[in-house]
Homo-oligomer: A and B are copies of this chain.
Amino acid sequence: MKIGELSRRSGVSVPTIKYYLREKLLPAGTPTATNQADYTEEHLRRLRLIRALVEVGGLSVAATADVLATLDDPEIPEHQRLGGAHWAITPAARGSREGERWTRARSQAGELVREWGWQVGDEAPALDLLADGLAALDAIGHTDFVAVLDDYARVAQDLAEVDLEIVGQIGANRPEALLEAVVVGTVLGEALFNAVRRLAQENASAKRYPG
């Protein structure tokens, strides 16, 4: 198909498709004539995946490029590709990660993992993410929220079983889709759950404060 059809079927504008081509997120099409190229169903699928990660998952274009490169690289062994993809979808630090407040928050994060006996490496990027949140709460004097951490851990443990179960099922039915399922499940699963959570909050709020 031509780029116009690719755009129409994917819902991504032609300039954005060209941008993704330049940034190597999308492989080049087969040249047909001067300045024209032919694209396949595989291009369409890839473009929809990029769109899902960027628009719905909120991943940056750079992070998306890293994830896709890891997914594509046949030289990397399966388990390393999984780890690499997981690493690439972790949001980069948006604030500074130093100072007494952050260091204290980082210890708190490590403590939670120890208390729950979770098998999590010391270098897990999610420990830094958690510390970012805790340090921010501390800085604005909302340390009351720290009280929820234990409940959050309990609920998250419950949810992680759901996540692993579905990814395991997909891997059993379509082994070739496993790696992509992990990425999609982590990025879109977060967006999905956050939406459902807001609906549940609205309901809980309506019940608690009627009228």
Contact = CB atoms under 8 A, between A and B. Distances in A.
B119 A207 contact: yes
DSSP majority for the A interface? helix
Interface stretch (A24-32, A51-59, A61-69): A51-59
Given A137-B184, A140-B48, A56 B132 contact: yes
A17 interface: no
A183 to B, nearest CB: 10
The oligomer's copy count stands at 2
A38 to B, nearest CB: 22
Interface string A39-77: 000000100110110111110000000000000000000
B136 A196 contact: no
Given A11-B99, A55-B94, A201-B186, A191 B140 contact: no
Contacts of A168: 208
A196 B48 contact: no
Interface of A: 11, 45, 48-49, 51-52, 54-58, 90-91, 94-96, 99, 109, 112-113, 116, 118-121, 124, 126-127, 129-130, 132-134, 136-137, 139-142, 144-145, 147-149, 151-153, 155-164, 166, 168-170, 173, 177, 180-181, 184-186, 188-208
